Structure 1
Amino acid sequence: MNPAPSVPELDLSACDREPIRTPGSIQPHGFLLSLSSDMVVLQASANLGDWTGRSAQAAVGRPLAEVIGEAAALRLAPELETRLDSRPYYVGTVTAANGRHFDVLAHRWDELTILEFEPTERAAPADFRHLYSLIGDFLKKVDGAESIESLSQLACHHVRSVTGYGRVLVYQFDRDGHGHVVAEAKQDDYASYMGQHFPASDIPAQARQLYALSPIRLIQNANYTPAPLVPNLNPLTGKPNDLSFAVLRSVSPVHLQYMRNMHTLASMSVSLMVKGKLWGIISCHNEDPSPVPFEQRTACEQLAQLLALCIESREDAHELQFRLDVRRIMVSMLAGLSQGNNFIENLSGVFPELLRFARATGAAVVFDERVLTFGDAPEEEDILGLVDWLAVHDHGDVYHTDKLSAEWPAAAKMIRNASGLLAMPISRIHKHYLLWFRPEFVHTIEWAGNPHDKLVQATAAGLPINLSPRTSFAAWRETIHGTSVPWHGGEIELALEFRTALLGIVLERAEQMAELAEELTRSNKELEAFSYSVSHDLRAPLRHIVGFADLLIESAGSENGEQRQRFLKNIKDAARMAGKLVDDLLSFSQMGRASLRPTTVDMKDLVAACIDKLALETRGRNIEWDIAPLPTVYADPTFLHLAMFNLLSNAVKFTGKQDPAVIRIGFEDMPHETIFHVADNGAGFNMDYVHKLFGVFQRLHRMEDFQGTGIGLANVRRIVERHNGRVWADSRQGEGATFSFALPKQVSNN
């Protein structure tokens, strides 16, 4: 017996690359004409003769009046002279020369005026009175629906009453594109999908993008034969027509088979856009072919817009309450951390609040090799390994994941109590971290069919392999392992705020400790020199926070969501600025106290690492890096990296208006020292004020022109001087600047 032939490997992602915007055809329950600016038909759908008696070939190149009748063309002419855009616009109901009546939608896209004609039994214009009663009834019941699910359920019943379809779902997308049915209204004999999930592959990314652009899509009969456009290419562009906004646009054959497999021959989908993003869709199914007239579709579209506004309002209210609750916990923690002189003991004293703050089951504080834990946390050895990994992979101010083992394989042994991690560094120099852990959340998702059986392969003797969507939508359960409950966006943002406040406390403790050090006199002089600047720079964002918070409270009863979002954005921007000031002050303070750990440093690798770290700031910029072959030096690599990064970051910032920006890094090998130069062709500065350049909070440019805290160059000077070196700068205003520092051939360990 011969073995069965092997089935070739198929690319099952092909449906995500189908030309769904340029199918070259329409659904045949209407016809399409594309016009030039002078009302001449440039293209017609091949089914034109079925509706008007005039063939598509005969219509191309003829005036619109000859194709649909002079009376109909005269009826449309005034509407087509208005400024059409991409959104289909109802321009009226016309009677063609053969006596048939059509509702007409028009839009301007792909350099054409596109007319779509849908048959109707009435000669009069569409009656939208049904729209008002539908919306009025929905609005009456909105106040009684407190949850998003109950609102969605209400919308399902209203849409079903308008369309007469057998099943209507509200389907919410998650962050991975999977859909979840949150509400349903159906006939008794229809299968229920309530609570089930649909994989992202059912509505691929490009289809979701199209839903965000075009709010409604109707398929009257999944067994239709597409009507191609004649000619098949856009005469003005020479390319396939972009039918993204056409209501008659033909859809993917794979999707039509998907519908038939689902025992659905008619479907309508209406987008739910919340804050400019696709939140979900209202999905309508019918087992038999079923039209939905334009005025009824309009009613459903308007109801979907109302539902989206209600969803946004409920989500905003929930988000505000959540943030207030978390903020209360944060304020309580900060009060506890401000008491006493031992910061580590203070942290251990607020461990219960730390867990409540992040809804975690375990927490840890790491100070170099010292680890304090609370709750259900991993072993000390595993936590130290995690911190080493975090330190090597710079994750910014806050790192979070709900599947740690997927990003750090060594975490596989910590899945039970550390599947989720929220981590933040509380020092830029040392391995000081605050960590929160969430346990594995083993849960079962009920899918509408096996999500891993997205497409099936079908063969026939002597025929090539075809691609077909899955055939089963029976409930299929999947148990998810190795993940935690996801971190809420509000938790992450408030963790950033907490970090800012925490660093403020750390800075305060650091300054208290500095009073006991030998540098007391010099520290006091520096504090006196820039105390006014600190007061001004740090109070300004705090005033913004207080002011806009007051405005937010005053507008609590307002329906102006855009204004509230602007207040929240201003509060967040001010908080971030205050946090950066505190961060930079903390680094400056630490520079004077931390011990140097000199070793051989390859300056070529150090500069390359700094440039990599600047990737986000330089993205999209035209920067020419001229880097000389650099030597090795004997210095503390962490401190020297920070000094060089500050100089290169300054060069990138002050060349922001140059195209190209030119940044040169060179060196001079002297008998007793090595001199490095960082030169740029940027804004430069006035040499009359060069004596202020390396002072704390000293800026030689307006804050509006170049953002910054004024601490970076002070850090450079302190680092170089700690190495017994020297630093200086030279410039011509408007012609660039050169910053130089010299390191001795040997350095003492301070």
Structure 2
Amino acid sequence: MVPHEPRFGASGAHGLSSATQTQHGAELTACDREPIHILGTLQPHGFLLAGEGADLRIVQASANVPDRPGRLAARIHGQPLGAAFPEIGSAAASDLAAQSGREGANYVRTLTLNTVDGPRSYDLAVHQSSGLTILELEEVASETASAHSLDALYPLLNAFVEGLHTATTAEELCALLAADIRHITGFDRALVYRFDRDWNGTVVAEDGNGVLPSYLDLRFPASDIPAQARELYRRNRLRIIPDAGYEPVPIVPKLTPSTGAPLDLSQSVLRSVSPVHVEYMRNMGTMASMSVSILVDGALWGLISCHNKAPRQVPLRARNACDFLTRIFALQLAAKERGALAEQRLHLGAIQARLLGFMAEEDQFVDGLLNHPEDVLALTGANGAAIVTAEHCRLLGTTPAERQVRGIYDWLSVHHGGEPVYMTDALSAEHPPARSFADLASGLVAISISQKYASYVLWFRPEVVQTVKWGGNPTKVATQDPTGGPDRLHPRKSFEIWKETVQGRSLPWSAPEVDAAKDLRSAVLGIVLRRAEELAALSEELQRSNKELEAFSYSVSHDLRAPFRHIVGYSELLRSREGDRLSDKGRHYVDTIIEAAFSAGTLVDNLLTFSQMGRNSLNRVSGDMNQLVEEVRRKVARDVQAERVIRWQIGSLGRVYADPVMLRLVVENLLSNAVKYTRDRPEAVIEVGREPDRDAEAVFYVRDNGVGFDMAYVGKLFGVFQRLHRVEEFEGTGIGLANVRRIVERHGGRTWAEGNLGQGATFHFTLPVRGGAQ
């Protein structure tokens, strides 16, 4: 199995038969109850001390505490920590106090203990457990300690953070994380493993050296990681097994004297693992493994899982660096997912707003849906839909036959009559007659549109037959105990690809799609009860979603400004005050730091401006567009090199009704781009004009004869951080055109562009003609 905690190789995987699941239900329940957090033993690559009270009197310790000159390990029980281990008590007392309130096992420092076998280096970690202070000292070789010092790890961490800016998709982020984690740890294989909603896991990214087989795209059943193991992953982000052939070390005494209970090792870095898991690792052909939990908004999203064919120890500091990378990854991933969800919600909200308008215009709101089938289907991404009441059944798009839809209606009325919304992507599993039309309706979203009568809007999705590649047969059965004892589950011995064809399932419904259906239900009921109020409610919900995204972007960009300014300021102080003592290479390094930090600060400032565009209110006034363009043109021209030749052609632009501050930013971005991308031309020609108004819109354009762009990438132009030219060729942050689009859309207008490589580009934007504009 790919992850790292106890795995039992049993059934229960998504897509398996209910009979198989029932067969192993008892065994899986037993697995879920195994107390893996209180096994009472440790892995032997370190030792543990449990201290109680203000003086950290030692009440429990692992059996492998080393003897030291004049201090036998057998006599430390009952002694204060400072007396039993002066090196820890005196050197780390303040650090221990600082760590005591933090969650999880935290690295304190690396220290040296004098033992009867000579000096030994240990990484010290500390955490709290049931009123006890748990100290864990993990032995580390001196050569590995220097190889994983902060100075050695910093270039890797810095490169990872830089790489985040170029990763545009979640897949690219995962691949970057897998490669960097393996680079830091030196394991043979590093995997990014993602859970689905049923807790099956899929390997979505992998980096390896070829020693171990590839598991990329393989799926593993939810039963491989029981519920209590998943909870431990959530609470304890870092786990390592340096040698699967280890002999467990007991904790002495077994029970805590003051409580009479076993020591809770949930947060321990040395905690033993289930014997079943050790057997599992051996079956995989791995003798060492490490995992780092990926938490998104506090929930377990997935794992980084590393494996090595031979035993391998990774120092705690290197593991902490992996945890740091994973946390940064999780923040970036959460931001991308939130942004994608917010964008989808806004898109669906616009569709819903149109549907509400259509329904409001009709005497019978149902006609507003029936007359606009494209929007009804687009609201949830469905292929077909139906509006069904006791008297009528109206079908839209690709649907089952009317009698089959009636059957779904009757089934919903009986089994889900009290539910306002019902959703499934495996209809035939709950409504067996649906197997006969799975190709038309394997997915179903149903909303009840009456609080008194059985009336539904139904959306259908067709079956999508998938071939799932499992990492070994997930239907491993219990094995008879030859001694006559109870049957037990054994981990799989084979991890060869085991394919299963999953039928009767559609593509899953996303949360925004289901929410859109719920919102439509609320709107329909609002029309029936209060026709005048539902549009206001929809607008408020859309504004809330948009403000959440804007507030997140504003907070991140605002908080990043000060660190970059500090970097620039202190670097300039270093250059001015200590420059004479620096070598030429050192001064070059300082200049590079200043330039990079200044560029990053500029990027943050632009991002902050972008986020503010959605937060600031519009103050529209009627104004002369020619006057505004001329003021901006003069400002832009001041920064142009004296030797450049630019021919400006500005037509009659008339008046507009807009926010002058925001509109100035639109014009400034477009003219600055035109100047920048024509600088290689002997004579730059920049034209600003207004086309004939159409559909109550004023259409403006900015045209240049610069380098242009490939129309195949026109969709990227107005996106945040999207660039079609290298920074080495043309400077910029990739936010300017995104600001243009956001401002224009807030005014109710549109933006688009046309261009050809080497022949220039034309950027269009529109503004509504109203309120005194001419």
TM-score, structure 1 as length reference: 0.66
Partner secondary structure for residue 505 of structure 2: coil
Correspondence 1:458-473 to 2 at 5 A = 459-460=481-482, 467-473=489-495
1:716 maps to what in 2?
Answer: none
2:450 maps to what in 1?
Answer: 427
Amino acid corresponding to residue 247 of structure 1 in structure 2: V
Correspondence 1:225-240 to 2 at 5 A = 225-240=247-262
Shift of the alpha carbon at 1:540?
8.5
Shift of the alpha carbon at 1:122?
3.9
Shift of the alpha carbon at 1:432?
2.0
Shift of the alpha carbon at 1:213?
0.7
Cα pair 1:130 1:299 within 8 Å, conserved: no
| Alignment partner of 1:17 is 2:33 | yes
Distance 1:174 1:547 in 2: 30
Partner secondary structure for residue 12 of structure 1: helix
Amino acid corresponding to residue 123 of structure 2 in structure 1: D
Q: Which moved more, 1:15-24 or 1:223-232?
A: 15-24
Cα pair 1:56 1:230 within 8 Å, conserved: no
- Show CA shifts across 1:149-183 (max 9, x none): 11111111111111000000000000000111110
Cα pair 1:15 1:254 within 8 Å, conserved: no
Distance 2:394 2:63 in 1: 75
2:77 maps to what in 1?
Answer: 60
1:263 maps to what in 2?
Answer: 285
1:32 maps to what in 2?
Answer: 48
Structure 2 CA distance for partners of 1:165 and 1:377, relative to 1, 3 Å: same
Shift of the alpha carbon at 1:228?
0.6
| Alignment partner of 1:409 is 2:432 | yes
1:41 maps to what in 2?
Answer: 58
Shift of the alpha carbon at 1:440?
1.7
Partner secondary structure for residue 469 of structure 1: coil
Distance 1:109 1:491 in 2: 43
Correspondence 1:469-484 to 2 at 5 A = 469-484=491-506
Amino acid corresponding to residue 133 of structure 1 in structure 2: P
2:133 maps to what in 1?
Answer: 113
1:282 maps to what in 2?
Answer: 304
Cα pair 1:131 1:298 within 8 Å, conserved: no
Shift of the alpha carbon at 1:452?
1.2
Correspondence 1:734-749 to 2 at 5 A = none
1:558 maps to what in 2?
Answer: 554
- Show CA shifts across 1:127-147 (max 9, x none): 323343222101111121111
Query: Given the alignment, which residue of 78, 101, 112 partners 2:121?
Result: 101
Distance 2:150 2:375 in 1: 57
Query: Given the alignment, which residue of 205, 211, 214 partners 2:227?
Result: 205
Cα pair 1:170 1:281 within 8 Å, conserved: yes
2:391 maps to what in 1?
Answer: 369
Structure 2 CA distance for partners of 1:561 and 1:424, relative to 1, 3 Å: farther
- Show CA shifts across 1:430-453 (max 9, x none): 222111111222111101111112
1:316 maps to what in 2?
Answer: 338
Structure 2 CA distance for partners of 1:503 and 1:148, relative to 1, 3 Å: same
Query: Given the alignment, which residue of 337, 345, 356 partners 2:359?
Result: 337
- Show CA shifts across 1:165-222 (max 9, x none): 0000000000000111110000123200111111111111111111111111011111
- Show CA shifts across 1:623-656 (max 9, x none): xxxxxxxxxxxxxxxxxxxxxxxxxxxxxxxxxx
Structure 2 CA distance for partners of 1:52 and 1:35, relative to 1, 3 Å: farther
Gaps of 5+ in 2: 1-22, 560-774
Query: Given the alignment, which residue of 263, 273, 294 partners 1:272?
Result: 294
Distance 1:202 1:550 in 2: 40
Cα pair 2:170 2:336 within 8 Å, conserved: yes
Correspondence 1:213-612 to 2 at 5 A = 213-392=235-414, 393-453=416-476, 457=479, 459-460=481-482, 467-507=489-529, 544-545=540-541, 548=544, 551-552=547-548, 555=551, 557-560=553-556
Distance 1:550 1:359 in 2: 21
Cα pair 2:353 2:535 within 8 Å, conserved: no
Structure 2 CA distance for partners of 1:469 and 1:53, relative to 1, 3 Å: farther
Shift of the alpha carbon at 1:250?
0.6
Amino acid corresponding to residue 394 of structure 1 in structure 2: G
Q: Which moved more, 1:328-337 or 1:143-152?
A: 328-337
Q: Which moved more, 1:59-68 or 1:129-138?
A: 59-68
- Show CA shifts across 1:210-239 (max 9, x none): 111111101111111110100001122111
Distance 2:353 2:436 in 1: 35
Q: Which moved more, 1:91-100 or 1:228-237?
A: 91-100
1:526 maps to what in 2?
Answer: none
Shift of the alpha carbon at 1:17?
1.7
Cα pair 1:215 1:270 within 8 Å, conserved: yes
- RMSD of the TM alignment (CA)? 3.0
Cα pair 2:356 2:535 within 8 Å, conserved: no
Amino acid corresponding to residue 129 of structure 2 in structure 1: W
Structure 2 CA distance for partners of 1:49 and 1:462, relative to 1, 3 Å: farther
| Higher RCO (C-alpha under 8 Å, 6+ residues apart) | 2
2:91 maps to what in 1?
Answer: 75
Distance 2:484 2:519 in 1: 66
Distance 2:72 2:32 in 1: 35
Amino acid corresponding to residue 109 of structure 1 in structure 2: S
Shift of the alpha carbon at 1:553?
7.3
Partner secondary structure for residue 117 of structure 1: strand
Correspondence 1:658-669 to 2 at 5 A = none
Shift of the alpha carbon at 1:476?
0.6
2:660 maps to what in 1?
Answer: none
- Show CA shifts across 1:384-432 (max 9, x none): 2322332333343221111222233343434332221111111111222
Cα pair 1:458 1:468 within 8 Å, conserved: no
Structure 2 CA distance for partners of 1:496 and 1:260, relative to 1, 3 Å: same
Shift of the alpha carbon at 1:331?
2.9
Distance 1:131 1:500 in 2: 54
In the comparison of the two structures, how many residue pairs are matched?
528
Gaps of 5+ in 1: 1-7, 510-533, 564-750
Amino acid corresponding to residue 322 of structure 1 in structure 2: Q
TM-score, structure 2 as length reference: 0.64
1:746 maps to what in 2?
Answer: none
1:196 maps to what in 2?
Answer: 218
Partner secondary structure for residue 468 of structure 1: coil
Distance 1:471 1:141 in 2: 38
Amino acid corresponding to residue 97 of structure 1 in structure 2: N
- Show CA shifts across 1:268-301 (max 9, x none): 1001111111110111100110001011011100
Structure 2 CA distance for partners of 1:478 and 1:58, relative to 1, 3 Å: same
Distance 2:486 2:445 in 1: 51
Amino acid corresponding to residue 119 of structure 1 in structure 2: E
Shift of the alpha carbon at 1:43?
0.8
Shift of the alpha carbon at 1:548?
4.0
| Alignment partner of 1:163 is 2:185 | yes
1:691 maps to what in 2?
Answer: none
Partner secondary structure for residue 101 of structure 1: strand
Cα pair 1:369 1:384 within 8 Å, conserved: no
Distance 1:224 1:195 in 2: 31
Distance 1:240 1:250 in 2: 14
Distance 2:485 2:410 in 1: 57
